[in-house]
Amino acid sequence: MDIEKLRQSWKRGSEFLGVRYAILGGAMSWLSEHHLVSAISEAGGFGVLASGNMPPELLRQEIRRTREKTDKPFGVNLITLNPELPELIQVVVDEGVKFCVLAGGLPKADAIGALKDAGIKVILFAPSLPLAKRLARSADALVIEGHEAGGHVGPVCTGILAQEILPALDKVPIFVAGGISNGNMVAQMVGLGAAGCQLGTRFVCAEECIAHENFKKSFLRANARDAVVTAQFDQALPVIPVRALANKGTQEFNALQLALIKKVKAEEIPRDDAILELEKFWVGALKRAAIDGDVAHGSVMAGQSVGMVKSIQPVAEIIQELVGPIEAVLEA
């Protein structure tokens, strides 16, 4: 491993985020709220609020509650498909948030422009090298997330994305996500040139995470192969695959998808409305499992790294495990 490259990459990510450790908390709807986000930032990482389907005023409250618990940097994740995106962006601007992650599709230029005009650093997701090069023209940083991740996922695994993109693009800091669970993998990604890593699944079983006890127990019992992606049945209704622990909720999603395909083909409903209906399903199904504890019928979104989550720990302890190998190398 090139120690100097490791040092410079790690420093680049930490300085960009303004934190001690370039470890981002993945924005998990319902779970990445002020308790978990502030705990990650307080532990030296970078917490990210998940706006999900929050109305603007609820997002404003979450930003303020987070600030009450930490004075460290954190960001806000906004979903580009959200019909209230302009209003949510205005909340982020009004509240003086310094970082915004745009996810869930390619953001429009006016959304990026509104954030950058307010001096907000914009972080975008890039699923391929050509798109990464394009997005780097307007983004301040990128996240490349592999197929192993939980929730909505792209088609390419983390290892391939890292090998393809990191050596070819140095214009902006690039953070790697998907299937990362321990400090050795963080060190390997940073050694390849990543500015840091983003993790979601590992933080579900943090003490500070508000996930229901049943949800956390599902993670502790699961193996990597239990976290599977949903299928797309027809090109008439394109859907982004979602990785979650297989259960009856997965079957309910499949039934809904088939019903909506029939409606789209019969021109009873516009395709965009059908896609939005599927997204609403996931929002509700995730709450049903993560908050209400119905892990049989709700959506237990988890990455394949779930098989390496073995205990419930404080966030600070998780962070130290993730940065330990890098810190040891740099100190030596």
Q: Report pLDDT digits (tens) over 158-190.
A: 999 999 999 999 999 999 999 999 999 999 999
Q: How close are the terminal C-alpha atoms of the chain, in Å?
A: 14
The whole-number pLDDT of residue 2 equals 86
Residues 148 and 125 in one domain: yes
Q: Is residue 318 part of a domain?
A: yes
Q: Which domain holds residue 155?
A: 3-210+307-327
Q: Is residue 332 part of a domain?
A: no
Q: Note whether 25 and 300 are within 8 A (CB).
A: no
Residues 205 and 274 in one domain: no
When pLDDT is cut at 50, 70 and 90, the band that residue 272 belongs to is confident
Residues 99 and 120 in one domain: yes
Q: Is residue 157 part of a domain?
A: yes
Residues 177 and 31 in one domain: yes
Q: Note whether 101 and 77 are within 8 A (CB).
A: yes
Q: Report pLDDT digits (tens) over 209-244.
A: 999 999 999 999 999 999 999 988 999 998 888 999
* Residue 316 CA from chain centroid, whole number: 19
CA distance 135 to 123: 10
Residues 126 and 249 in one domain: no
Residues 123 and 241 in one domain: no
The whole-number pLDDT of residue 53 equals 87
Better pLDDT: 280 or 55: 55
Count of structural domains, the chain: 2
Using the predicted structure, report yes or no on whether residue 1 has a pLDDT greater than 80.
no
What pTM was estimated for this model as a whole?
0.94
Q: Is residue 205 part of a domain?
A: yes
Residues 129 and 224 in one domain: no
Q: Is residue 179 part of a domain?
A: yes
100: β partners: 76, 122
Q: Is residue 298 part of a domain?
A: yes
CA distance 128 to 224: 24
Residues 36 and 160 in one domain: yes
Residues 26 and 140 in one domain: yes
